[in-house]
Amino acid sequence: MKVRMMMRTSTIALAVLCMVNVNAQITQSKKDTANGSDIAPVEIESVTILAPRKDLGQIVHLSGSEILITQKELKRFDQVDANQLLQSQPGVYTQQEDGWGLRMNVGLRGSGVLRSSRITLLEDGIPVAPAAYASPAAYFTTPTWKYSSIEILKGSAQLITGPQTTGGAINFLTPTLDEKTDLAVSTSLGNFGQIRNSIQGELVLAPRTSVGFGFISSRAQGFKEYKGKNASGYILNDGYIKVGQHLDKRDLHHLEFMASGTQELSNQTYLGMTEFDAVNNPRVMYTAAARDTMYLQRLMTRLSYTANLKKGWIRADVYRQYIDRNWHKLDKINGGNGYKSIASVLMNPTAFAQEMAAMTGADSGMAQIKANKRIYVSRGIQIKGLWTHSVAAFKMTHEAGSRIHSDYEDRFQQNDEYQIANGEINPVKWGAPGTDANRVDYAQGLSGYYRLTASYQLWTIQAGVRGESVKAWREDFGKSNPERDNTNVKTRENAVDALMPGFSINRRMSRNWLAFGGVHRGFTPPGSTPGVLPEKSTNYELGVKHHTLPIQITYFRSEYDQLMGSDMAASGGTGSGDQFNGGRALVDGVEARYGLKYKKFTFEATATYTKARFTDSFQSAFEEWGNVQVNAPLPYMPTAQGTMMFGYTWKSLDFFWQSVYGSSRRSSSSLMADDLPASWVHNLSVNYEATKRWSFRVSAQNLTNEQHIVAARPAGYRTYAPRMILGTVTFSIQ
């Protein structure tokens, strides 16, 4: 108890330190205003992590291996699926699920890809996962169409984000209000019934007031085949509005309000295919999945205040996110021998021939479809600031921040029964709400960080620490208590406090070349299961990079004290969400990138080599681990992956070709050989700017239509999305 109190006190102390810095800076700012000095706006710098304020002399240094994806790069191939978009980056691993980007599975530096639960997801520096502490699995993925850039942080740079600090963090950035009226309207049409209509822009209402906005309506019939028609489609509406107000003529104080919302209706399922169908009929959808549907609504609001100071800034955010979803998806099948899990049937279709016949609609049977109704709510207050000054020949940058956050996941689920007959599936009995799962998982987190960057001549040293104090608890009302009358409620609780230090060093080798290295402590919260320890790791990196060109090579290494798993339906588990400790693990590898522009030609290449393995032997009920032996590979982790991109500009025409390679992988660490094949996917894009206002783009994803197997879970095999062709017309005013 004393240790926990000391840790909480340390975390609070970091927040107090931040406030002390703020008061000092505001005082200095008032003096500078009286002296008539000019102060530049900092709205952009206060939400980004990679963009320094050069006018302040802020030191341009993080870990050295950070990645910034610009708006031009985001729109280059019209990839709305974040899994496809991010897989071309070094040190980033993805697993495609639905082909439309509705669910994101991304990992960084061997952290694991499942539901992006092992990394920190941010939007404008604010946690955007549905419940980042209580249930970090991102069952909702914010659509990427609206973002102006994406920042990927690895190494010790991520200490200023959290709560997950082992693999890294991804920060999605919405367009910053620049007080200029502009508008872009786009319409896209493609195969498989793809239709996208979007509008995005900014309107200046007054000299110090502007409104940014964006809305997209996107839909597709789907690329699966069911009874000779396209299936597994979706309808998605997503939008935002951002209001910015400068509170004074000098732009010392800025107020911003943003609201964003999403509606999704999709025919998505956990039901995959047999291995035979995955190879020979990769687009087939079985009859039993015809009723699987996701309904989702999301609303996120935040109010932000930025103080623009002479030698720094301070930003405060108050935010709340609400997600209500109900995913009706097939769970079990009955071919006459009682209900069997769909995963067991697809893994051994010969032994479960009757169940397989019912699943495909070739014979009659019964199906159990689980209505996974969940509500996620997250809210918090975040404050951070930066201050730059000089001490003799040293340039110093101080950064500090604190976050008070709470979230919960409310499960109120039921099982419905359906009959399969004559190739159709129809409901016969509705389950009672709350009779499958009836519980709430809560979490509270208090965090703070401080980082000092000091530069002297050719050397830059950065040292910092992050504190996390997390409490998680569960209230299980039981499957026979839908009223939640507080009788026989089962509770459990787990709490953890941690300090994560980080250190990095940078030396300028020449005018353009830098050498860097760093070490930091990684952390992942353990959930509410008593006795489960947080995942901790020690992470290293060492590399060189070019100061202006996208050229760098980095060696990385992560030593896990105890790797943590999660019992999620998405991994083939029971879906309880419980987290548990596994054995020790070691991940090391090399990531590299190279970019060159010569006249009208552009060439970019990335490569990642990863060796990720367990260093302990143990047995686990977790489907992706199983009976683990020493040196068994981590699941879904390719040894090698890489990307090449060629571009050519001719007058108003831009041509881009991209090739993405991924080596074979294993879906479970207990397997003796890789069961997921290597892949090589090619993408093409042609853009024509007819005038300053009209542009046309044609893009092709998976040009050779390679539908390789990408996953063997949660139930059966899944394949890569087929060739997709999309044509886009854009009208813009600037």
- Angular region, 102: left φ>0, alpha ψ -120 to 50, beta rest: alpha
Per-residue confidence (pLDDT) for residue 34, from 0 to 100:
35
pLDDT for position 52:
52
Mean pLDDT of the 274-302 span: 96
* CATH homologous superfamily of 2-733: TonB-dependent receptor, beta-barrel domain (2.40.170.20)
Between residues 422 and 571, which one has the greater pLDDT? 422
Segment 364-395, tens digit of pLDDT:
999 999 999 999 999 999 999 999 999 999 99
Banded model confidence at residue 549, pLDDT cuts 50, 70, 90:
confident
Spatial separation of the C-alpha atoms in residues 492 and 471, rounded to whole Å: 11
Question: Span 426-455, mean pLDDT?
Answer: 96
Amino acid symbol at 156: S
What is the DSSP secondary structure assignment for residue 336, as one 8-state letter?
Answer: S
% of the chain residues with pLDDT over 90: 73
pLDDT of 575 over the 80 cut: no
Q: What is the mean pLDDT of the chain?
A: 89
The residue-averaged pLDDT of 653-671 equals 95
Q: By three-state DSSP, how is residue 550 classified?
A: coil
Reduce the DSSP state of residue 3 to 3 states and report it.
Answer: helix
Provide the pLDDT for residue 158. Answer: 82
Tokens of 382: 């975040």
- pLDDT, tens only, 487-497: 889 999 999 99
CA distances from 237 to 191, 215, 220, 260 (A): 19, 7, 12, 11
pLDDT tens column, 312-359: 999 999 999 999 999 999 999 999 999 999 999 999 999 999 999 999
Could you read off the pLDDT of 354-365 as tens digits, one per residue?
999 999 999 999
Q: What gap in Å lies between CA 117 and CA 114, rounded to an integer?
A: 6
| Mean pLDDT value of segment 118-124 | 93
523 three-class SS: strand
Are 553 and 591 in contact by the 8 Å Cβ rule? The answer is yes
Where are the chain's structural domains?
A: 2-733
What tokens does 485 get? 């009358």
Q: Please report the pLDDT score of residue 64 as a whole number.
A: 67
**What's the DSSP call for residue 693?**
S
SS3 label, residue 484 = coil
Containing 28, the helix (H) or strand (E) segment is: helix 2-34
CB 169 within 8 A of CB 125: no
Q: What is the pLDDT of residue 30?
A: 40
Q: What is the mean pLDDT of residues 162-182?
A: 91
Asked if pLDDT for residue 261 goes beyond 70, the answer is yes
Check: CB of residue 369 under 8 Å from CB of residue 418: yes
pLDDT band for position 443 (cuts 50, 70, 90): very high
Closest CA to 78 of 199, 246, 204, 196: 196
Residue type, 695: S
Short-list 299, 230, 216, 322, CA closest to 267: 230
State CA 646 to chain mean position distance.
27
**32 has a pLDDT exceeding 50:** no
CA distance 641 to 608: 5
Specify the amino acid at residue 635: P
Segment holding 43, helix H or strand E? helix 43-47
Q: In the predicted model, is pLDDT for residue 706 greater than 80?
A: yes
The pair of structure tokens assigned to 711 is 């996953």
What is the number of residues in the chain?
A: 734
What's the pLDDT at 431?
Answer: 96
Share of the chain above pLDDT 70, in %: 90
Beta bridge partners of 204: 210
pLDDT in tens, 61-99: 455 678 889 889 999 998 878 888 898 999 999 988 899
Residue keyed to tokens 């729109």: 75
**Average pLDDT score over residue span 261-286:** 95
Higher pLDDT, 136 or 364: 364
pLDDT, tens digit, for every residue of 175-210? 999 889 999 999 999 999 999 999 999 999 998 999
β-bridge partners, 499:
467
**Rounded to 5 degrees, what are φ and ψ at 30?**
-65, -40
Question: Distances from the Cα of 700 to the Cαs of 191, 211, 277, in angstroms?
Answer: 10, 34, 25
Retrieve residue 604's tokens: 């970019």
Q: In sequence order, what DSSP letters do the residues of 392-418 get, joined into one string?
A: TTEEEEEEEEEEEEEEEEEEEEEEEEE
Q: What's the average model confidence in pLDDT over 126-145? A: 90
Query: Residue 66's pLDDT is what?
Result: 81
Whether omega before 136 lies within 30 degrees of 0, making that bond cis, reads no
Between CA 492 and CA 533 the distance in angstroms is: 15
Task: Give CA angle at 161 (324, 98), nearest 5°.
Answer: 45
**Alpha-carbon distance 276 to 270, whole Å?**
18
Return the ∠ at Cα 139 (arms to 134 and 145), rounded to 5°. Answer: 125
Average pLDDT in the 1-21 region?
Answer: 39
